[in-house]
Amino acid sequence: MNIDFPTVIAKFDAILARGLSVGIGQREGQMCLEAALCAALDLPHGDDPGCVTESVRTFKIRFNDSSGWASPASRAYHLRALGIAQLGSKDVVSSREFVIRLAKTIIQHVLPRVCREVCPGQFKPWVDACEQEGTEIAAKALVLAFDTTAGLQGPGHVFKAAGTTSPRSVRNVVARAVETAMWATTKASRATETTATETAAFLAAETIELATYAIEEAKGRQADPEIYLRLVATLVLDILRDLKSPGVAWIS
């Protein structure tokens, strides 16, 4: 597909000014990210712009629909760069490489951030290893450390310094984080170009669920509840940049 980037981006920005919806939305009103791109490309109303790598599109459909965004306007503002970056990625960005990078990113960046914010000072050697290595082995080691400590001493003891009124909620967040990291990398490492789209859907669902747990805990600490979604948006943009998605060059 030949993409007139300046024209498409101008139309896309006009649509984003209405905010982005959960679900495909209405052509003349708020739409989801992919539907907004279809409109900007003068395609029929739908969620397949036709120029986006399938695993990337699948991930972003689920990510768009997360209930953690503060508002349609916030969803549009923080997903704009991703919307542009994905343009032209089809036949350029490998679906398998995308999900492998995404799984590693969850372990290397999202998991340490969640652990350090909701459970400061706990599991430092294992959290540091995840950040440095981004591997399934590092994630599994953190799972084992977490399960062993929580099992032996109980969540109230392990998380009493976490600065939250609900040790159980903190335990749930960290448990969700380590499980997400471990299973994400396992599925990604086994993915093929054909099965990568299914893996992307899994990663999207797991990442959004993790963000939802973390958001709820952040509210208890009066922290910014959108922080984890914005973090993931930035990290996925970095992946698309590394994989040379053509739209990245047009982000301003």
Closest of 80, 109, 110 to residue 13, by C-alpha: 80
Per-residue confidence (pLDDT) for residue 218, from 0 to 100: 65
Block mean pLDDT (10 aa), the chain, length 252: 93 97 95 97 96 90 87 96 96 88 84 78 87 84 73 40 44 63 70 76 70 65 76 93 97 89
d(CA 83, CA 52): 10
Q: Domain residue spans in the chain?
A: 5-85, 95-243
Per-residue confidence (pLDDT) for residue 149, from 0 to 100: 67
User: Is residue 87 within 8 Å of residue 5, measured between CB atoms?
Assistant: yes
pTM greater than 0.85:
no
Cα distances from 151 to residues 118, 169, 196, in angstroms, run: 19, 16, 35
Per-residue confidence (pLDDT) for residue 216, from 0 to 100: 66
Per-residue confidence (pLDDT) for residue 162, from 0 to 100: 39
Contacts of 29 (CB under 8 A, 6+ apart): 18, 21
